[in-house]
Amino acid sequence: MVLPLRFGLVQPNLDYLEDFVMDVSHPESPNYGKHWSATKIAQTFRPAKESIETVHLWLVESGIDRASVRLSQGGGWLKANVTVEQAERLLQTEYHVYQSDEEGGGQHIACYEKYHLPEHVARHVDIVTPTLHFDTKPRTSVPQKIDMDKRDRPVNARSLGQPELGVSIPKTAATIETIYKGIEKCDEQIVPDCLRALYNFAYTPVATEKNSIAIIEYNSQAYLPNDLDLFFANFSPSQVGQRPVLDSIDGGYLQTKEQDESVNGESDLDLQYAMSLNDALSPPAFVIVASFNNLLDALDGSYCTFEGGDDPEYDAMYPDPSGNGYEGPEDCGTVTPAYVMSTSYYFDEAQFTPAYEQRQCAEYAKLGLMGTTVLYVSGDNGVSGGNFQCLDSERQSSNNGTIFNPSFPSTCPYVTSVGATQINPGASVYEPESACEQVIYSGGGFSNVFAMPSYQKTAVEHYLSNYPPPYSSAIYNTSGTSRAYPDISANGANYLVAIDGNFTLTYGTSCSSPVLAAFFSAINDARLGVGKGPIGFINPTIYSSAFVEAFNDITNGSNPGCNTSGFSAEPGWDPVTGVGTPNFPKLLDLWLALP
């Protein structure tokens, strides 16, 4: 059996990453809005020649055929095809076949608990795959040693970071026969006019040809054109017949063979609201891709591990060796990032190793440096993780766990994490919202991997000092120095969505993210119209003192889970709704005033 070892080389200047991002993103910086080019990104973070040569020489001197060692086109990875025996000797470890905990998870080849690199090599490498880095945590209690005479590729190998195998939302309720088009029943049905009234959203585009927004979906997810038209006919008649622009990555396509709520619900929701709220803007890009990793590959060539894919064991591999899939080369740095990208999928932070998450998180920082706003949902289960699981004493997701289970990528400090609110039963759009407690609970909490970024330090310390959560360090990360989320919220309850020919009520942070994407895209349009750049990474701005009055503070509700009441929504930032919900006119004026 050939094992494709990949060595992720240490990228220089990552110690300065937060400084770089803050320099172009903080409203008080003289360089605000002076975003970097892709070329500058590549030059700044390309691994040093010394790193490439050191790892390459070590592999060759260790007996690996020089011809089998290749450098990725972006210069970030070295690849060597080796036997299992060679890999075990190189890394001083043992490889096993593991069974995934998740239903249908299949088997994975990885090493047991740890691996080792010589000291002179280790300082040039920050990740090796396949080793400990799974798409999900494996069962570790019964490792099965690889039979050296039976080394077939593990069955059902799955994409690392493939959202459909993690947690996908939204949640839906019964089909609705009577629909309300105005704002009188927004506590029962959210429609576009409800959101316009809630957040004072009204905007006429002026620079559509310069602007861009992308709705990110994953393989097998697809909208139905008839669903869009059914929704538009009722809420945005001028858009009947309008379609998003398909932006295919690695052969992604709009499949129509499978049609049901689980396949069409997310895409229908995202597009119906992102498009109808900005009916005069150019249609969004509808991006179809296999996994988080494959998306980042397409956006940044230096992230690609090698020409054929990230890792054949865990990621989509192109050309597809099965003969039934995409036969072209992988998209590697071939896609220009949109100014706003919305993703309604997430994983538990505990499903990945810290090294994997940190390397991926650095990619989101690079997108921010280039002027892209990256939105990820915070989750729908309060302080619990996917399937309402919490962490056990080994920090793995479990039905019997009691420790809060944060979500990823929300815990990455370079994405904007989006929580959910609701209109209280019987209330109007002119009354304060609460944290969402209908069907779903807004995800929120504190990372077990990432440190607190400087931009949120004051806000989070205010919460912890004035409203200290009544839990010990045995329940959540009480250090006061970890990344806290969400950052911002929008309504996430009772959305009326046309799915498979019927109107259905839909719930989730999955509702909130495309709405905020539409708002931020409108602000970008206004800035582009006066010769300014996009707003880019928004977190340093929305946490700044100048923007405090541009949000509706949410002070009611909580996000229960893990047999607790979770955290509470309080004045100021909180780990339920972030800084609150947007007041669009105030945000627009403030961002237009920035350079």
Phi, psi of 69 (to 5 degrees): -95, 120
Dihedral Cα 212, 218, 221, 224, nearest 10 deg: 10
Q: From CA 180, how far away is CA 158, in angstroms rounded?
A: 43
| Active-site choice (217, 227, 266, 380) | 266
- The number of angstroms, rounded, from the C-alpha of 411 to the middle of its chain's C-alpha atoms is 9
CB distance 516 to 488 below 8 Å = yes
| Active-site choice (159, 344, 510, 513) | 510
| Active-site choice (217, 227, 247, 270) | 270
- For the sheet with 407-408, list strands across it: 167-168, 345-348, 407-408
Backbone φ/ψ region at 542: left (φ over 0), alpha (ψ -120 to 50), beta: alpha
Q: From CA 497, how far away is CA 492, in angstroms rounded?
A: 12
In angstroms, the Cα distances linking 534 to 99, 203, 298, 332, 519 are 45, 16, 21, 24, 13
Q: From CA 379, how far away is CA 385, in angstroms rounded?
A: 8
**Annotation marks residue 65 as catalytic:** no
Known binding-site residues equal 553-554, 572, 574
397 - beta bridge partners?
391
**Annotation marks residue 394 as catalytic:** no
- The number of angstroms, rounded, from the C-alpha of 573 to the middle of its chain's C-alpha atoms is 21
Q: From CA 536, how far away is CA 29, in angstroms rounded?
A: 14
**Annotation marks residue 266 as catalytic:** yes
Contacts of 378 (CB under 8 A, 6+ apart): 346, 407, 410, 417, 418, 419, 420, 442, 443, 444, 485, 486, 509
Return the sign of the alpha-carbon dihedral for residues 314, 317, 320, 324: positive
Known binding-site residues for Ca(2+) equal 553-554, 572, 574
Q: Which of the residues are catalytic? A: 266, 270, 510
